[in-house]
Structure 1
Amino acid sequence: MQLEAATIDIGTSRPLVLLHSNDAGELGAHPLDRVRIDHDEGTTTGIVKRTDELVNPGTVGVTEPLHHIHGVVGVTLAGTPQSVRYVRKKLDDIELEAHELEAIVTDIHENRLSDIELSAYVSAVYTNGLSLEETKHLTEAMSGVGQQLRWESPVVADKHSIGGVAGNCVTPILVAIVAEAGLTMPKTSSRAVTSPAGTADVMEVFCDVEFAMADIESIVDETNGCLVWGGGVDLSPVDDEIIRAEYPLSVDPTGQLIASVLSKKRSAGSSHVVIDIPYGEGAKVESLVAARELADDFKRVGVYLEMDIACAITHGTDPVGRGVGPVLEARDVLAVLEGAEDAPESLRVKSVRLADMLLEHCGVDASAADILNSGRALERFRRIITAQNGDPSVESSDLEPGTESATVRASRAGIATRVDNRQLCDLARRAGAPLDVCAGLVIHQTVGNEIALEEPLYTIYAETTTKLEEAKTLADRLEPIRVRSKADALVERR
Structure 2
Amino acid sequence: MQLDAVTIDIGTTRPLVLLHSVDAAEMGAHPLDRVRIEDGTESMTGIVKRTDELVDRGTIGVTEPLRHVRGTVDVTLAGQPRSVRYVRKKLDDVELDADELETIVRDVHENRLSDVELGAYVSAIYANGLSLEETEHLTQAMTEVGQQLTWKGPVVADKHSIGGVAGDSVTPIVVSIVAETGLTMPKTSSRAVTSPAGTADVMEVFCDVEFSIDEIEAIVAETNGCLVWGGGVDLSPVDDEIIRAENPLSIDPPGQLIASVLSKKRSAGSTHVVIDVPYGEGAKVESLVDARKLADDVKRVGDHLDVDVTCAITHGTAPTGRGVGPVLEARDVLAVLEGDGPEPLRLKSIRLAEMLLDHCGVDASAADVLDSGRALERFRRIVAAQNGDSEVESDDLEPGEETTTVRADRSGIATRIDNRQLSDVARRAGAPLDARAGLVIHREAGEAVVAGDSLYTIHAEAAAKLEEANALADRLEPIRVRSKADALVERR
Q: Which residue of 2 aligns with 1:167?
A: 167
C-alpha displacement of 1:490: 1.1
Give the 5 Å matches for 1:150-299.
150-299=150-299
Q: Which amino acid aligns with 1:105?
A: V
Q: Which amino acid aligns with 1:468?
A: L
Aligned mates of 2:76, 2:383 — CA distance in 1: 51
Structure 1 residue matching 2:227: 3-state secondary structure: strand
Structure 1 residue matching 2:405: 3-state secondary structure: strand
Structure 2 residue matching 1:405: 3-state secondary structure: strand
Q: Does 1:311 align with 2:311?
A: yes
The superposition leaves residues 451-472 of structure 1 with CA deviations (integer Å, 9 ceiling, x where unpaired) of 1111111000001111111111
Q: Does 1:440 align with 2:438?
A: yes
Q: Which residue of 2 aligns with 1:148?
A: 148
Q: Does 1:421 align with 2:380?
A: no
Q: Which residue of 2 aligns with 1:371?
A: 369
Structure 2 residue matching 1:313: 3-state secondary structure: strand
Q: Which residue of 1 aligns with 2:350?
A: 352
Percent identity for Structure 1 against Structure 2: 78
Q: Which amino acid aligns with 1:451?
A: V
Aligned mates of 1:386, 1:42 — CA distance in 2: 45
Aligned mates of 1:379, 1:41 — CA distance in 2: 56
Structure 1 residue matching 2:443: 3-state secondary structure: coil
The superposition leaves residues 304-324 of structure 1 with CA deviations (integer Å, 9 ceiling, x where unpaired) of 111100000000011001000
Q: Does 1:75 align with 2:37?
A: no
Q: Which residue of 2 aligns with 1:22?
A: 22
Q: Which amino acid aligns with 2:10?
A: I
Aligned mates of 1:42, 1:397 — CA distance in 2: 57
Q: Which residue of 2 aligns with 1:393?
A: 391
Aligned mates of 1:469, 1:54 — CA distance in 2: 37
Aligned mates of 1:159, 1:179 — CA distance in 2: 12
C-alpha displacement of 1:485: 1.3
C-alpha displacement of 1:22: 2.1
Aligned mates of 2:199, 2:489 — CA distance in 1: 38
State the Cα RMSD in Å: 0.8
User: Bigger CA drift: 329-338 or 61-70?
Assistant: 61-70
The superposition leaves residues 384-408 of structure 1 with CA deviations (integer Å, 9 ceiling, x where unpaired) of 1111111111110000000000101
Give the 5 Å matches for 1:46-61.
46-61=46-61
C-alpha displacement of 1:374: 1.0
Aligned mates of 1:42, 1:347 — CA distance in 2: 55
TM-score, scaled relative to structure 1: 0.99
The superposition leaves residues 141-186 of structure 1 with CA deviations (integer Å, 9 ceiling, x where unpaired) of 0011011111111111000001100000000000011111111111
C-alpha displacement of 1:41: 4.8
Structure 1 residue matching 2:481: 3-state secondary structure: strand
Q: Which amino acid aligns with 2:97?
A: E
User: Bigger CA drift: 33-42 or 473-482?
Assistant: 33-42
Aligned mates of 2:367, 2:414 — CA distance in 1: 30
Q: Does 1:94 align with 2:94?
A: yes
User: Bigger CA drift: 41-50 or 225-234?
Assistant: 41-50
C-alpha displacement of 1:40: 5.1
Aligned mates of 1:72, 1:175 — CA distance in 2: 54
Aligned mates of 2:188, 2:345 — CA distance in 1: 20
C-alpha displacement of 1:39: 2.4
The superposition leaves residues 59-106 of structure 1 with CA deviations (integer Å, 9 ceiling, x where unpaired) of 111101111111222211110011100000000000000000000000
Aligned mates of 2:62, 2:428 — CA distance in 1: 35
Structure 2 residue matching 1:482: 3-state secondary structure: strand
Structure 2 residue matching 1:417: 3-state secondary structure: strand
C-alpha displacement of 1:26: 2.2
Q: Which amino acid aligns with 1:53?
A: E
C-alpha displacement of 1:20: 1.2
Q: Does 1:43 align with 2:47?
A: no
C-alpha displacement of 1:58: 1.6
Structure 1 residue matching 2:375: 3-state secondary structure: helix
- Number of residues of Structure 1 aligned to a counterpart in Structure 2: 492
Q: Which residue of 2 aligns with 1:471?
A: 469
Q: Which residue of 2 aligns with 1:383?
A: 381
Aligned mates of 2:266, 2:71 — CA distance in 1: 41
Aligned mates of 1:68, 1:358 — CA distance in 2: 47
C-alpha displacement of 1:44: 1.1
Q: Which amino acid aligns with 1:285?
A: V
Aligned mates of 1:491, 1:448 — CA distance in 2: 13
Aligned mates of 2:226, 2:484 — CA distance in 1: 47
Aligned mates of 2:259, 2:466 — CA distance in 1: 36
Aligned mates of 1:152, 1:337 — CA distance in 2: 29
TM-score, scaled relative to structure 2: 0.99
Aligned mates of 2:73, 2:109 — CA distance in 1: 24
The superposition leaves residues 422-469 of structure 1 with CA deviations (integer Å, 9 ceiling, x where unpaired) of 000000001110011000010011111111111111000001111111
Structure 1 residue matching 2:301: 3-state secondary structure: helix
